[in-house]
Amino acid sequence: MTVFWFLVREGLKGLIRSKYSGAFSIIIIAISLILVGFGYVGARDTLFLVDNIRAQFDVDIFLHETASDKEINNFEALLDSMIEIQKVHYISPEKAAVKFKKEFGEDIFDMLDYNPLPPSFTISLKPIYRNLTSVEGIASILSKKPGVDEVKYRKKFLILLEKYQRIILITVVSVFAFLALLSIILTSNSIKMTIFSRREVISTMKLVGATNSFVRWPFVIEGTLQGFIASCLAALFIYGVFYLLNNYLQTVIEYKAIISYRFYIGIVISGTLMGLIGSRRAIRKFLK
């Protein structure tokens, strides 16, 4: 325990001695984490919005006008038995005429002497099947069933949704990877500067029998502290911004961010790991 606390004290002293280089690393890591944090929340809420839009995505199945009640009932039973389908809604020709008048403001019987609108079903899929591949497969199967005239869904709209979802995910992962790498490199460089300024002391310690672990740990602790302090500053800043947004600016900006405490814990852990990895990277190269 005595050796442990000695190494911790040396790490703290090293952080204080590093002055501008240590402060610079802390600031850079904090800024990186702030950008990652805001990017994560923005991407999360955007993907949540996309999922909500997907939840409203329906598939319309039109039967032949001559379909009998028995054929309609049998087809409805088939839809109810499919595990991919969450909800089934039947629209009779009479209901379709009412819907037509509501949407277009014209009575179908004023335009024609008969009701040409066929019986149809609107189905909602379970979340796991709300993707282009699944929808195309389901539509292909249903279009071949007896009595089915046409299966319609917004294919172009679904393609656009999936495209932007992929772009968001790739962008978030790329930005996080870049900022994490930048933080690790800057922490490594800060530790390298500290090591270089103390190279004579380290050489003396090695001459009197100090092991690599004994030399390494103060610098590892110093880098880890840099990451920890930076992550705490970043978490406090992000919390302050969202607190202000949710409590004072919500009437101006119609947006409310729901942030779990796990998010802030993740920020602190990420920053600490960045400092730890950066410091280990720097001292490992030096000791070799």
The CATH number of the domain where 73 resides is what?
A: 3.30.70.3040
Can you tell me the mean pLDDT for 71-80?
Answer: 89
Look at residue 217 and tell me whether its pLDDT is greater than 70. yes
Q: Are residues 136 and 170 in the same domain?
A: no
Domain boundary among 153, 180, 200: 153
Please provide residue 19's backbone torsions phi and psi, each rounded to the nearest 5 degrees: 50, -110
Q: Are residues 204 and 256 in the same domain?
A: yes
Q: Are residues 124 and 259 in the same domain?
A: no
Can you tell me the mean pLDDT for 11-28?
Answer: 68
What confidence tens digit (pLDDT) does each residue in 102-145 have? 777 777 776 777 777 888 999 998 888 888 888 889 899 888 88
What does pLDDT average to over the chain? 79
Strands 58-63 and 85-91: unpaired
Q: Are residues 168 and 118 in the same domain?
A: no
Q: Are residues 89 and 136 in the same domain?
A: yes
Look at residue 87 and tell me whether its pLDDT is greater than 80. yes
Give the count of domains, the chain: 2
Residue 125 β-bridge partners: 85
Domain boundary among 91, 118, 153: 153
Distance CA 88, CA 6 (A): 69
Q: Are residues 269 and 188 in the same domain?
A: yes
Please provide residue 96's backbone torsions phi and psi, each rounded to the nearest 5 degrees: -65, -35
Q: Are residues 83 and 212 in the same domain?
A: no
* 82-87 contacts, C-beta under 8 A, 24 or more apart: 82/138, 83/126, 84/125, 84/126, 84/129, 84/134, 84/138, 85/123, 85/124, 85/125, 85/126, 85/138, 86/123, 86/124, 86/125, 86/126, 87/123, 87/124
pTM equals 0.66
In sequence order, what are the residues at sequence separation of 6 or more whose Cβ sits closer than 8 angstroms to the Cβ of residue 238?
34, 37, 38, 259, 264, 267
pLDDT for 9: 66
Look at residue 100 and tell me whether its pLDDT is greater than 70. yes
Q: Which helix (H) or strand (E) holds 207?
A: helix 199-207
pLDDT for 248: 66
Query: Which residue range is the domain that position 37 belongs to?
Result: 2-52+161-287
Q: Are residues 7 and 130 in the same domain?
A: no
Q: Are residues 229 and 120 in the same domain?
A: no
Q: Which helix (H) or strand (E) holds 46?
A: helix 20-55
Neighbours of 57 (CB within 10 A): 16
Q: Are residues 248 and 145 in the same domain?
A: no
Q: Are residues 97 and 210 in the same domain?
A: no
Q: Are residues 211 and 280 in the same domain?
A: yes
Domain boundary among 123, 153, 183: 153
